[in-house]
Amino acid sequence: MKIGVPTNDGTMISEHFGRSAGFLVFDIEDGKIKSRELKANGMTHSHGQGECGHHSDGSQPHSHAGILSALEGCDRVICAGMGQRAAQALRASGIEIVIAAPASAEETVAAYLAGKLPAAGESFCQCHH
């Protein structure tokens, strides 16, 4: 199993999935972290929060292909939140989304693997992605 976690510093979970600098991809074997790799966020997501809600008129393309490329092979993503369109793109690619508080990425993944990550509802970014 592979778990992707958005990060800005290679250690902590980023508060905003799409604008993170990259993703820590954890390779899980026998319920334990076997390895981790930092991959750059391949998406150009340069607008401010809440400014991409008007892409549906077709005037500006809004693709999550760069993010999906960085998360290729991941089964799950653990994040603090994301826009609805990013969530739809991940789910369409078969990636399960787990919501967690911003904290240490490695500790959060370990808590998830131990079944200690508190269950969360479908709470996503409210910036109308």
DSSP per-residue codes, the chain: -EEEEEESSSSBBPSSSTT-SEEEEEEEETTEEEEEEEEE------SPTT--TTGGGSSS----HHHHHHTTT-SEEEES---HHHHHHHHHTT-EEEE--S-BHHHHHHHHHTT-SPP--S----S--
pLDDT (tens digit per residue) in 73-106: 999 999 998 888 888 899 999 999 998 989 999 9
Q: d(Cα 118, Cα 52) in Å, to the nearest integer?
A: 30
- Mean pLDDT for the stretch of residues 20-29: 96
Q: Which domains does the chain have, with CATH numbers?
A: 2-44+62-113 (3.30.420.130)
Total count of residues recorded for the chain: 129
pLDDT score, position 82:
86
38-50 per-position pLDDT tens digit: 999 876 544 444 4
Task: Calculate Rg over the CA atoms of the chain.
Answer: 14
